[in-house]
């Protein structure tokens, strides 16, 4: 079993209203040293063994469903996982 | 400037309906090898230099605002960032 960790972030050029709202709240709570907040998604996929090209599989799933590549970037890591 | 990357995940014991929905979609699209999907949040904070104990600061912000520690776990990494 493989564990794939996918990090999805908004592209630099895209406004992040959710991040701005969180930063505003942090400032009101006294954390003025926080200069920027960006919020993205973190996905963990468990994939059965036997896949030949897991990189290509993950890229395909990211493009078809998991991310919006117009406004988002993604990167991923693949780890060996012990099945439970 | 420090860049803090925070990964927030649902605790193991907590159901993840969003992850289940994504897994269902992946299966319908033919990706039957995906055995589990869990979805969390990924936050990037930029913090001004001069903070004495940045670990304690980030933990405090996570507990007070950024995460719900009843149902979520988090971990974070701190990197040196070049200000733009």
Q: For residue range A8-41, what is the model confidence (pLDDT) as tens digits?
A: 999 999 999 999 999 999 999 999 999 999 999 9
Distance CA A26, CA B64 (A): 9
**Percent of chain A whose pLDDT exceeds 70:** 98
* Closest in B26, B33, B46 to A51, CB measured: B33
Asked if B30 has any chain A CB less than 8 Å from its own CB, the reply is no
Distance CA A75, CA B12 (A): 23
Least confident range of A10-14, A49-53, B12-16, B32-36: A49-53
* Residue B83 confidence (pLDDT): 57
Ranges of each domain in chain B? 2-80
Closest CA to A33 of B18, B75, B57: B57
SS3 state at B73: strand
CATH class of A2-80: alpha beta
- Of B9, B3, B5, residue with least CA distance to B77: B5
Interface check for B12 against chain A (CB to CB < 8 A): the answer is: no
Answer yes or no: is pLDDT of B56 > 80: yes
- What chain A residue is nearest to B34 in terms of C-alpha separation? A47
Reading phi first (left if > 0) and then psi (alpha if -120 to 50, else beta), residue A4 is in: beta
Q: What is the ipTM of this complex?
A: 0.89
């Amino acid at each position: 079993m493989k564990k794939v960790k996918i990090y999805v972030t908004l592209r630099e050029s895209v406004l992040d209203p959710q991040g701005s709202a969180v930063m505003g709240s942090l400032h009101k709570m006294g954390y003025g040293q926080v200069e920027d907040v960006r919020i993205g998604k973190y996905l963990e996929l468990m994939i059965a063994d036997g896949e030949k090209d897991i990189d290509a599989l993950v890229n395909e799933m990211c493009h078809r469903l998991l991310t919006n590549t117009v406004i988002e970037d993604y990167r991923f890591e693949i780890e060996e996982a012990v099945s439970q």
